[in-house]
Amino acid sequence: MKKLTLADGRQIAWREAGSGPAVVLLHGWSMSSAVFTEVIEELSADFRLLAPDLRGHGDSDPGTGYGLADFAADLAEWIQALDLREVALVGWSLGGQVALELCPALRERLRRVILVSTTPRFTAAADWAAGLPNLQVRAMARDLKHNYLKTMGDFFALQFAGEELPRERYRRIADFAVRGGRLPEPEVALAALETLRLGDQRSGLGAINVPALVQHGELDRITLAGAADYLAEHLPAAKLELLPGIGHAPFLSQPQEVCRRWREFLS
């Protein structure tokens, strides 16, 4: 792991491999950069891959807030400090929302965006059916307080619900993606979950005019496929890929095929 000290004294950690065009990989809620272990192995011959841990996740220091703007501010400072240019962002789940938040700050540094299992609004509302019920998210928060490790385990399993994923493959994924990283402290997970519950990025989508690939598993039970339709319709330069037979983590369920699609879009 590499580390950079930010202006406020906190450190941000990241994994890095390969050379060529810079691709920044942003992980999802309660995970870490370890989730991209196979992606880094698969794509490092073609790109310079950088996978940071969001604040309070993995090996990155915690902060005073866990809003989308907080996550994005750390990453903007980090990208500027490394002087990354012509950057492609790949954001998964919460990481996709962070990518959406980060796009305006990067401006001329950004060339492409891939949004995997991403939604502009995680919870449902009167004008938004493509989200989870508010009560379901609140119940998850209660479960985290009652039994943190069990709730995390149940959430991880939900990412593959409905898939025909061999048991050995599931164990392999859990080994590198979960045990290979570090779970956030419960208060960090709860604060980030509250960010998911309250966030709504729909109004800013029209200003993100870089080429975007919106990729979503049709079996996803965490961020619903209707959210991908909305992103593809409201991002000015978006392409939609719905993946049959796959849930919330396409690059874990079918790594070689998904990486092939990413390579094609980013090249």
Mind telling me the catalytic residues?
A: 93, 220, 248
CA distance 100 to 208: 8
Q: β-strand 212-217 against 110-116: which pairing, if any? A: parallel
Q: Which long-range contacts (CB under 8 A, 24 or more apart) does 94-98 make?
A: 94/27, 94/28, 94/29, 94/54, 94/192, 94/195, 94/196, 95/25, 95/26, 95/27, 95/28, 95/54, 96/26, 97/68, 97/122, 97/196, 97/199, 97/201, 98/26, 98/54, 98/68, 98/71, 98/72
CB atoms within 10 A of CB 147: 11
Which among 111, 75, 38, 94 is positioned nearest to 223, based on CA atoms? 94
Give which of 74, 23, 73, 67 is closest to 45, Cα–Cα.
23
